Amino acid sequence: MIAVPADIRIFDNYRWHVAATPYVDAVARVAGTVPFIVPALGEALEVEAVLDRVDGVMLTGSKSNVHPAHYGVEPTERHGPFDEDRDATTLPLIRSAIDRGLPLLAICRGMQELNVALGGSIATEIQEIAGRDDHRAPDLPTQDERFALRHEVRAVPGGILAGIVGVEPFRVNSLHRQAIDRLAEGLAVEATAEDGTIEAVSVEGARSFALGVQWHPEYWAGSEPMSQRIFRAYGAALRGDAPARAVA
């Protein structure tokens, strides 16, 4: 069983705790786990009680961004939208999961949360930075078109990701306008895009699988080989039969 922290969404005059279907499908059908959606209750949530009952944690992507107050930056509209209930839930959950040595997979917003939880910072509107490409979601009519594999990343030799997907460049579906700015102490870069954007990280010295990716392997986990490998490796770690880091 894995904990999947929820987003807060408002519709039909209610506040809902939700997780998008591609994420829970990927961990259920490809990783072979039982996803447990954790409500974004912030300080009202007993994090340790949740982690006592699960075997790992997965952090999903989201339209919202980590509030910049968590990394010492004055918030602007360009940093939003925000989901402060999710921040208040995920940041302590991440730290406790790492302390316990629970397998952790962090996707898109989740990777940014991982970086912030450990003391790093986030840059916004990276497409406006000289030399950076536009990693934002294209304005296309279908999800399959929006989540198409568009640019290459290269895994760092000897890392967790290279042990899963190899060291040859492969194509991914990044859909983000924010990215890691200052890398947190305790994180190692696992992959970069051609423009230098950090696309994957791992927790140095982690007692188990602890990987973050900026792209969306959950969307094609049922059919695309690299996406499948990531979720299968995470599932293997949950069952205790995957190495924490590949041999260089």
Q: Of 18, 196, 195, 190, which Cα lies nearest the Cα of 105? A: 190
Element holding 172 (H helix, E strand): strand 170-172
Calculate ∠ Cα 111-67-95, nearest 5°. Answer: 50
How far apart CA 138 and CA 109 sit, in angstroms, is: 18
Q: Where are the alpha helices (DSSP H) in the chain?
A: 21-29, 47-51, 84-100, 109-117, 143-146, 160-165, 225-238
**67 is annotated as an active-site residue:** no
**108 is annotated as an active-site residue:** yes
**Catalytic residue (one of 113, 190, 199, 218):** 218
**Catalytic residue (one of 67, 79, 108, 151):** 108
**Catalytic residue (one of 79, 135, 176, 216):** 216
The single-letter code of the amino acid at 245 is: R
**113 is annotated as an active-site residue:** no
Catalytic residues: 108, 216, 218
